[in-house]
Chain A
Amino acid sequence: MTHLNAPAQGSPDLSMRIEYWRAYPALSSPDVRHYGQPVALVVATTFEQARAAANLVDVEYAGAPGCYDFAACQDQTYAPDALIYGAIPPDTSVGDFDAGFDSAPVRIDVRYSTPYELSQPMEPHACLVVPHGEDLIVHVSTQIVDAARSSIVRTLLIDPERIHIITPYVGGGFGSKLRIHAETILAALAARALRRPVKVALTRQQMFHLTGLRPTSSQRVRLGAQRDGRLVAIAHEVTMHTNPRSDFIEPTAATTRSLYAAPNRLTSHRLTPLDLPRGEDVRAPGEAPGMLVVESAMDELADALGMDPVELRIRNEPTVDPEQGLPFSDRQLVDCLREGARRFGWERRPATPASVREGQWLVGYGMAAGIRGHIQVPTTAQVRLAADGTAVVQTDMTDIGTGTYTVLTQVAADGLGLPPDQVRVELGRSEYPVSMGSGGSWGAANSSTAVHRACQALREKLVAAARNDVRSALHGLDPAGAKFSDGIVSIDGVSEALSEIVARNYPDGVAADGQTPAMRDDPNYADYSIHTYGAHFAEVGVDADTAEIRLRRMLGVFSVGRVLNAKTARSQLIGGMIWGAGAALEEDAVVDLRSGAFVTRDLAQYLVPVHADIPEVDAVVLDGYDGKANVLGAKGLGELGICGAGAAVANAVFNATGVRVRDFPITLEKVLPGLPPLDD
């Protein structure tokens, strides 16, 4: 199948606010917009045949010049006219930045760059489509079921009822599976045409051009401070690459708006169109590159002031959200900083860069603050109790390694007073109540809130039924004091098995729905600035002769409201911190400026952290409860671990060597020229 015979497909409707729901046509035009774009699909009865056949396809291209060099194409840069994600303004300004900055006795004006990075989950993007009459059963690895269905429906121009998504387990997503890509559309088109099951799996190399690309960026940060460290002016101005046909804006400077107090402020996002794959959301979109740079610049300010970097941050702690003027729902950044410094032994930090040497190793400590917005999205779940007293939770929410099955089992068991083994959680099917899946760290808190509400509704139904049921021990008792525990419902010392109430009143079982509202329908999200916070600490050794950088240990202390599951929360935070380390030291998709190809397009050349790179890493979560976020007091944390983690590593490299690298990743050839002279 090529553009010559591919069926007609829908075009992406750019007015749809969230792009993951838009159409995603493939093989729809003879124009090749970037290196790696699919030009043909070969279907055979076996994988070996298909691969061999694909290798026989000769493609002739009529070449045209392209723009691949981000630095060289800066004259094309423009200001986007749309809101980021349809919600976040690209530019903000408070006070008079220029006047404030000019008046500051201590000024930092630095430009950093961050590379193209990729999600690259371990499970490649893959899709198996099985036709069933006019219906298509779509087994696809995806983070958002509803978005996958919408995207297929709008591309294939098919009735939504005909598409059935199944994605019970997802082998990692990290943003690249927020939407479906060519693998799904090609499999669906071919399966529909052949009326046979078709499986399409991207190769690892193909994933580098087709999925999950974080834009490269150039970021200018200006910090103006009094000599006591108080900021008078902050500017964070970001330019990133985009695609000439539709903008993708990573909200790189957005969280800077809520981070530190300063009366004069400026943030902006600018786009440089290149003939490369379009950017997409990659884990911690915005904060990952943004906090990496802002928190590196804050370290530069601390160095210029001769001030402890922890103290500098504490001194700039705002009392209200510094741009919106809103009160914080629950901000414990200073607690994270103090607790982290204490646990890490921050007082042992070398006060002077490049002053501590252990054998061949220059040793340094670094730290950074972390912040990420908490997002509430509409989510529904249904909980059904069977007559035997067991419960089934259903939602089209996904588990991408984040522990959704575990957490929702806990929440439902807690909500109904059942042992966890009496609860079954069923996820990832388009027949189930609609959620916004996994992404943006919203999954656990939003789906847990919906499940909790469904359990609440069930409890109310059951106690009302018991109260009106003359056969019940609880007949006539005031349901307000009802307690649900270990499968027993009790009121004022009188109790009855939950299963008996269900069996008698609802022999076919009883179900209730629970919902989490969108932020716009929840006044707390207009009245409060709702974020999560962290403080990162890192120790590195840098080889005095070769500039090889070895991470020695990392610690993060976080405030996320209430933790739903301590074990999985810690695991996700650690994973995020290691992503931060990878961004600081390793990850870099290098563009061939002649073709626009990523030359480092496999896992041997696009370096991600491996075992040998990663030392002891610990994550600690402060006790908390953010009642403004939701009824459970829980906020998202899947991406918080990244936010600032890389800057702590980068700042440790500076502390170890006295070399400040402003072009990420920090690799040895960038550090080596600045190292102290070799000993004899």
Chain B
Amino acid sequence: MSESDSRATWAASASLAGGISTEVERGRDELAALLAITLNVNGRLWHLEVDTRTSLLDALREHLRLTGTKKGCDHGQCGACTVLVNGRRINSCLALAVMHEDDEIVTIEGLGEPGDLHPVQAAFVECDGFQCGYCTPGQICSAVGMLTEVAAGWPSHVTADVSSRQITLSGEEIRERMSGNICRCAAYPNIVAAIRVIAQGAPE
């Protein structure tokens, strides 16, 4: 069935009941402001045309089909959409795709894949750091970004000596720094265990 046929069907069924067909048709034909952009995601350049309102999260999922990054709240409150931008973790739901043309974006797919897992991914599997898995890409990207922050000596709310450049990644530090990533299955103890495996393997 062609598109015009289906529109006619919808208009007919809509007008039967109360005459909202005009709005439906106009909505279908209206063109949004599209912008041609290039995103550097997982080491590859992607050319796409996006609505200027498209979040980085929706660009990744709906345009690039990188559905590993998840939408949990679309509101910056749950962390499921965490990706790495120039090595730093951000909530991709709070960023517009058009703002990130010159950035290096890494998603869960870019960290590793089955058979060639990133060490943090492997540690999550080993420690059963997930149940339903929906928050997991965000947890893992967040953990990778967090470990970089610790290596750079960034203090947190629970760091005893904020002037020290040497952060000891205690369980308390991990929990504080990972609290932007909610896990409703509550795999928290196992997630912390997975991150500890990585932290303890890293040079002091």
Interface positions of A (Cβ within 8 A of B): 1-2, 4-7, 42, 44-49, 51-53, 120-124, 169-174, 193-196, 201, 203-205, 400-403, 567-568, 570-572, 574-579, 582, 602-604, 608-612, 614-618
Q: How many A-B residue pairs have CB under 8 A?
A: 164
B74 adjacent to A203 (CB under 8 Å): yes
A122 adjacent to B135 (CB under 8 Å): yes
A521 CA / B173 CA spacing, docked (Å): 54
Listed residue (B14, B17, B131) with the most chain A CB atoms within 10 angstroms of its CB: B131
A122 adjacent to B77 (CB under 8 Å): no
Q: Is the interface of B mostly helix, strand, loop or mixed?
A: loop
**Which residue on B lies nearest to A40, using beta carbons?**
B20
Some 12 contacts from A to B, beta carbons below 8 A apart, are: A5-B16, A44-B27, A48-B53, A171-B70, A204-B74, A401-B133, A401-B134, A577-B186, A603-B73, A603-B77, A611-B179, A611-B192
Q: Does B38 contact A (CB under 8 A)?
A: no
A4 CA / B181 CA spacing, docked (Å): 42
Contact of B6 among A194, A582, A614 (CB under 8 A): A194
Q: Does B128 contact A (CB under 8 A)?
A: yes
A608 adjacent to B182 (CB under 8 Å): yes
A526 CA / B182 CA spacing, docked (Å): 42
Asked if A120 meets B184 with Cβ closer than 8 Å, knowing A46-B51, A402-B131, A602-B73, the reply is yes
Contact of A172 among B16, B27, B73, B184 (CB under 8 A): B184
A614 adjacent to B175 (CB under 8 Å): yes
B15 vs chain A, min Cβ distance (A): 8
User: What are the 7 tightest A-B residue pairs by CB atom distance, in nearest-first order?
Assistant: A401-B132, A171-B134, A5-B17, A401-B131, A578-B186, A4-B18, A204-B73
Q: Does B62 contact A (CB under 8 A)?
A: yes
B32 adjacent to A46 (CB under 8 Å): yes
Size class of B's contact patch?
Answer: 35 or more
B13 adjacent to A5 (CB under 8 Å): yes
Contact of A567 among B13, B62, B128 (CB under 8 A): B128
Q: Which residues of B contact A579 (CB under 8 A)?
A: 186
A602 adjacent to B75 (CB under 8 Å): yes
B118 vs chain A, min Cβ distance (A): 20
**Beyond known contacts A172-B185, A567-B128, A617-B188: 20 more, CB 8 A cutoff:** A4-B20, A5-B16, A44-B28, A46-B51, A49-B32, A172-B132, A193-B9, A193-B10, A195-B6, A196-B6, A204-B73, A402-B131, A568-B128, A575-B131, A602-B75, A603-B75, A611-B174, A611-B176, A611-B178, A611-B192
B58 adjacent to A47 (CB under 8 Å): yes
Q: Which residues of A contact B176 (CB under 8 A)?
A: 611-612
Contact of B134 among A5, A45, A123, A578 (CB under 8 A): A123
A369 CA / B119 CA spacing, docked (Å): 39
Contact of B132 among A2, A123, A124, A615 (CB under 8 A): A123
Q: Does B89 contact A (CB under 8 A)?
A: no
B77 adjacent to A204 (CB under 8 Å): yes
Contact of B188 among A174, A567, A611 (CB under 8 A): A611
A610 adjacent to B128 (CB under 8 Å): no
Q: Which residues of A contact B28 (CB under 8 A)?
A: 44-45
B185 adjacent to A616 (CB under 8 Å): no
A53 adjacent to B27 (CB under 8 Å): yes
A612 adjacent to B175 (CB under 8 Å): yes
**Which residue on A lies nearest to B18, using beta carbons?**
A4
B188 adjacent to A48 (CB under 8 Å): no
Listed residue (A170, A194, A203) with the most chain B CB atoms within 10 angstroms of its CB: A194
**Which residue on A lies nearest to B131, using beta carbons?**
A401
Contact of B9 among A44, A169, A194 (CB under 8 A): A194
Q: Which residues of A contact B179 (CB under 8 A)?
A: 610-612
A123 CA / B132 CA spacing, docked (Å): 9
A5 adjacent to B20 (CB under 8 Å): yes
Which residues in window 175-204 of B have CB below 8 A to A?
A: 175-176, 178-192
A234 CA / B135 CA spacing, docked (Å): 43
Q: Does B72 contact A (CB under 8 A)?
A: yes
Q: Does B1 contact A (CB under 8 A)?
A: yes
A556 vs chain B, min Cβ distance (A): 12
Contact of A575 among B32, B58, B133, B187 (CB under 8 A): B187
B75 adjacent to A204 (CB under 8 Å): yes
**Which residue on B lies nearest to A52, using beta carbons?**
B53
Q: Which residues of A contact B80 (CB under 8 A)?
A: 122
A571 adjacent to B73 (CB under 8 Å): no
Contact of A571 among B16, B27, B128, B174 (CB under 8 A): B128
A51 CA / B72 CA spacing, docked (Å): 17
A47 adjacent to B62 (CB under 8 Å): yes
Asked if A608 meets B20 with Cβ closer than 8 Å, knowing A123-B132, A204-B72, the reply is no
A171 CA / B138 CA spacing, docked (Å): 13
A575 adjacent to B186 (CB under 8 Å): yes
**Residue interface bits B1-37, CB-to-A below 8 A is 1, else 0:** 1000010011001101110100000011010100000
Q: Which residues of B contact A616 (CB under 8 A)?
A: 171, 189
Q: Which residues of A contact B128 (CB under 8 A)?
A: 567-568, 570-571
A122 adjacent to B134 (CB under 8 Å): yes
A401 CA / B134 CA spacing, docked (Å): 9
A642 CA / B106 CA spacing, docked (Å): 37
**Which residue on A lies nearest to B73, using beta carbons?**
A204
**Residue interface bits B118-135, CB-to-A below 8 A is 1, else 0:** 000000000010111111
Q: Does B40 contact A (CB under 8 A)?
A: no
A572 adjacent to B131 (CB under 8 Å): yes
Contact of A609 among B27, B74, B186 (CB under 8 A): B186
A576 CA / B171 CA spacing, docked (Å): 21
B186 adjacent to A574 (CB under 8 Å): yes
A172 CA / B174 CA spacing, docked (Å): 24
A204 CA / B81 CA spacing, docked (Å): 14
Contact of B78 among A5, A603, A617 (CB under 8 A): A603
A574 CA / B58 CA spacing, docked (Å): 33
Q: Does B54 contact A (CB under 8 A)?
A: yes
Q: Which residues of B contact A124 (CB under 8 A)?
A: 71-73
Q: Which residues of B contact A400 (CB under 8 A)?
A: 132
